[in-house]
Amino acid sequence: MVMKMDKTEKTANRSVLKTLEFLEYFIQNSELSLAELVELSDMPKSTVFRILQTLEMRGFVSKTTTHNPPKYQLGLKLLEFGNIVAQRLEIRKVALPYMQQLRDTVDEAVNLIIRDQDEGVYIEKVDTRQYVRVYTQVGRKSPLYAGACPRILLSFLPDHEIEELLNRVDMKKISPDTNIDKDLLWQWIHDARENGYTVSYGELEPDSAAIAVPIRDFTGQVIAGLSLAGATSRFQLDRLGYLVQETKAVANKIMSKLGYSDAKAGL
């Protein structure tokens, strides 16, 4: 069977498309032999074998032990990807009603963010009813070194991962108040670990402020950040403690739902 490619696919990398096509064969067939894959793909046996070797080496397929000649099945590496996607969907579903509750309590925008390599990506938001608001949208990305919510994700990575990331990325100013001083960033990271929250003023947009706290899964790993964002005038010292307290309380409820047993003890 030969699959026809649409116009978009024709401009893509054909080798990658063929490899992904191989994985799709297993949607309808739990196990396939080399000969069956040759027939399905209408490709030379040697080419099919090389693709299978590569997929097996990276854990995307594995050989069964009950057939001779052996058959292939999807590998455990795909389970890792599936768990990541499921976790992202699960945290959005769990967090949204609590985010709405937090917005109604403090009347500020509430954001949920997760890590995507060297950036944080916003996966859920609840807008404030305030006239002056900070613009965010689901899918927006920000570097992990800038802004309260991205930085809360950075802060709870192991030190060596942080060092590698900071050596890898080019720290640039996103707004006039974006910090690009690594020594100051490390100080903020240690403060976040000690206090359980981060604060930012104008780092992503002028005249905006945000606070963020970590969200942990049942293993205790920080998998997301929960933040409030709004106009700088509403995030002054006289109100900051209240906002942090309410955000932490809601984060604890979300973490309890995710199975984190120490959530009631605080962040």
- Which pLDDT belongs to residue 5? 44
Whole-number pLDDT of residue 9:
46
Compute how many other C-beta atoms are within 10 angstroms of the C-beta atom of residue 24: 10
For residue 136, the model assigns a pLDDT of 67
Residue 123 binned pLDDT confidence (cut-offs 50, 70, 90): confident
Of 243, 245, 249, which Cα lies nearest the Cα of 231?
243
Q: Where is average pLDDT lowest: 55-69, 111-125, 243-257?
A: 55-69
- Residue 264 pLDDT > 60: no
What's the pLDDT at 134?
62
Residues in the chain: 267
Q: What is the mean pLDDT of residues 168-193?
A: 92
Say whether pLDDT at 189 is over 50. Answer: yes
Minimum mean pLDDT range among 36-50, 55-69, 91-105: 55-69
Q: What are phi and psi of 16, to 5 degrees?
A: -65, -45
pLDDT value of position 75: 83
Enter the pTM of the model. 0.66
Region 8-19: mean pLDDT is: 64
Instruction: Give CA–CA dist 117/161, Å, rounded.
Output: 11
Check whether 63 has a pLDDT greater than 90.
no
Say which residue, 125 or 213, is predicted with more confidence.
213
- Over residues 27-40, the mean pLDDT reads 85
pLDDT, the chain, mean: 84
On whether the CB atoms of residues 261 and 253 are closer than 8 A, the answer is no
What six digits make up the tokens of 156? Answer: 């709870």
Residue 79 and residue 141: Cα distance in Å, rounded?
26
At 265 the pLDDT is: 47
CB within 8 Å of 135: residues ≥ 6 apart: 205
Q: What is the pLDDT of residue 144?
A: 94
Tens of pLDDT, residues 79-119: 777 666 666 667 888 999 999 999 999 999 999 999 888 88
Give the pLDDT score at 133: 55
Cβ atoms 130, 110 nearer than 8 A: no
- How far apart, in whole angstroms, are the C-alpha atoms of residue 215 and residue 211? 13
User: Does the pLDDT value for residue 226 go beyond 90?
Assistant: yes
